[in-house]
Amino acid sequence: MEKIEITLNINDKPCEVRVFPNDTLLEVLRDELDLTGSKESCGEGVCGSCTVHMDEKPVRACLTLAMEATGTRIKTVEGLANGDDLSDLQQSFIDHGAVQCGFCTPGMLMSADALLNENPKPDEKTVRMALAGNICRCTGYAKIVEAVGHAGNPQDHCPDCKTKE
Ligand code: FES
Ligand code: FES
């Protein structure tokens, strides 16, 4: 099998990369483009740790071929912050203690970001539904759900929360 040169649009930048036809988007992001924020855990579409956006929709990068991503806009967790400025969602995760080991966090953020882009003020049930495909082994989910809810509804002020209003 020979490698083929493709151009991907990652975080609004064109990236030329040589891939095998069966390389996954996750392999190419991590191993060829050094974008290691997206994590591989199950590698079979179950855990959500590899979630990225393709044309603003969350997809499993471990189940997506890199070649399928040509002609689309891919956003990874590296694309959430603006330089050193974290997004409100990222800051809310920190403020609410929603990160423990952090392995699920990039995927959680990308699923939550897609939700907030579509529905800026989700209720708790909607947040839980949107994150149902993302597994966390540490937090018990409550703080993650709170962090996402607060990022969408900053006027619902929580005690000790420093998230921007
Ligand atoms: S690594 Fe992709 S869903 Fe688990
Ligand atoms: S913070 Fe450890 S798996 Fe979620």
Best residue among 103, 110, 141 to mutate for probing ligand 2, ranked by most atoms within 8 Å of CB: 103
**Can you tell me which atom of ligand 2 is nearest the CA of 49?**
3
Write down the residue that tokens 């994590």 correspond to: 39
% of the chain with per-residue pLDDT over 90: 91
Fold observed for domain 88-152: DNA polymerase; domain 1 (1.10.150)
Domain boundaries, the chain: 4-79, 88-152
Distance, CA of 50 to CA of 58 (rounded, Å): 10
The CATH T-level fold of domain 4-79 is Ubiquitin-like (UB roll) (3.10.20)
CB 56 within 8 A of CB 119: no
Handedness of CA 157, 129, 10, 139 (dihedral sign): positive
> Which has more confidence, 79 or 158?
79
Dist. CA 23–CA 9, nearest whole Å: 16
- Using a 6 Å cutoff on CB, does residue 40 contact ligand 1? yes
Tell me the backbone φ, ψ of residue 100, rounded to 5 degrees.
Answer: -110, -95
Residues 113-152 have pLDDT tens digits of 999 999 999 999 999 999 999 999 999 999 999 999 999 8
